[in-house]
Structure 1
């Protein structure tokens, strides 16, 4: 088994490669739903609001656009601020993932998921408005398309009949955050990050994400 601090070849970059791969999957699915015309290739995609059953009505392919955060959560400070905040978060995650190289691989895996999700939706907000001729730079909307049915829920005066429509990037963020919570005891301290040392931690027993 490859050691957690093996830095030969592409080993130091494997979680960045994972994050990039997930971003590409996220963007490919969004372009398939929204459609595109590029380099002489044209794909019509779906129209806004179009919906098709995937697994009965339990899981549907439903095309919506979200001007806010993950799962349709609104952000009161405005789109420019949201985009800039996301850029800062993504930059910090890149730095953090790089500093995590000698540490627990499960934590690296989780951070790479969150990074992929942040970048995936950031691309929509930054460039989709311009690419599709709909909005200015930074004002694009995030493409969502996975709709999961839930039992009717009346909460705070609102009736919810399905989980908020989401995408691959949202899923990456959610799974990554859950994993980080579960693996919180394996996360290095600030001093350990600065030194890149495994000393004073139980991370000498580096394990894979499955552990």
Structure 2
């Protein structure tokens, strides 16, 4: 493997290993829904499992779960192909590393979905549940009565429970959104070069 490929794929592998190590530890050492607090009531480990997407979102039923797992596999293949393309085309290193984070996060959650049901004996292949554990309910309150839809209801920020893989995906996506100007400069320069030549002529 060429040197350009080594760092992003090693980074992705390292993130997957950390994610899986945390999940195995949580499964072996924690009881579901029983928190281990490290920031009082505002930060804790809380072991939950879900059938769905990042941050506990779900598609209903066994068929929804199967469809989501298969979609994840296809998505990972696409992200991996995209990462190779970015490296070959010598895109911004920051963009390449952020895509590597997204790839790692997707792979980390796919491992749960594909294999955990079989490994831990509770579901067939492709029907495993994703392990989540990080919970940061930083503050809570109530929506004002005039607020649309949720008026008067309680809110908690940040409510979703997530895992290390989810965090890797989120960091990758957010950094790409905030750094589009730098990350896609390579592509923009290529697209603008024919016009600049016409001006010179």
**Do these two structures clear the TM 0.5 threshold for a shared fold by scoring above it?**
yes
Q: What is aligned with 1:173?
A: 169
Take 2:102 and 2:184, find their aligned partners in 1: how far apart are those partners?
Answer: 15
CA drift at 1:182: 1.6
Q: Which deviations, in whole Å up to 9, do the C-alpha atoms of 1:63-82 show, x marking residues without a partner?
A: 01111111011224601110
Mark the CA change 1:201 to 1:90 in structure 2 (over 3 Å): closer, same or farther. Answer: farther
Take 2:77 and 2:136, find their aligned partners in 1: how far apart are those partners?
Answer: 31
Is the aligned partner of 1:99 residue 2:99?
no
Take 1:111 and 1:14, find their aligned partners in 2: how far apart are those partners?
Answer: 12
RMSD of the TM alignment (CA)?
A: 2.3
Q: What is aligned with 2:48?
A: 64
Gaps of 5+ in 1: 1-7, 36-44, 193-197, 203-211
Between stretches 67-76 and 103-112, larger displacement belongs to 67-76
2:159 maps to which of 142, 158, 163? 163
Mark the CA change 1:67 to 1:60 in structure 2 (over 3 Å): closer, same or farther. Answer: same
Counterpart contact for 2:43–2:138, Cα < 8 Å:
no
Q: Within 5 A, what are the aligned runs for 1:29-178?
A: 29-35=22-28, 45-76=29-60, 78-101=64-87, 102-154=90-142, 156-157=149-150, 159-161=154-156, 162-178=158-174
Q: Which deviations, in whole Å up to 9, do the C-alpha atoms of 1:25-64 show, x marking residues without a partner?
A: 00000000002xxxxxxxxx11111211112221111101
The size of the alignment, in residue pairs, is 179
Q: Which deviations, in whole Å up to 9, do the C-alpha atoms of 1:4-32 show, x marking residues without a partner?
A: xxxx9533221011011100000000000
**Higher strand content, 1 or 2:** 1
Take 1:201 and 1:122, find their aligned partners in 2: how far apart are those partners?
Answer: 39
**Higher helix content, 1 or 2:** 2
Q: Which deviations, in whole Å up to 9, do the C-alpha atoms of 1:89-111 show, x marking residues without a partner?
A: 11011111111111101100110
Between Structure 1 and Structure 2, whose CA radius of gyration is higher?
A: 2
2:12 maps to which of 11, 19, 24? 19
TM-score (norm: length of structure 1):
0.77
CA drift at 1:183: 2.4
Take 1:120 and 1:90, find their aligned partners in 2: how far apart are those partners?
Answer: 10
3-state SS of paired residue (2:38): strand
TM-score (norm: length of structure 2):
0.81
Take 1:160 and 1:126, find their aligned partners in 2: how far apart are those partners?
Answer: 33
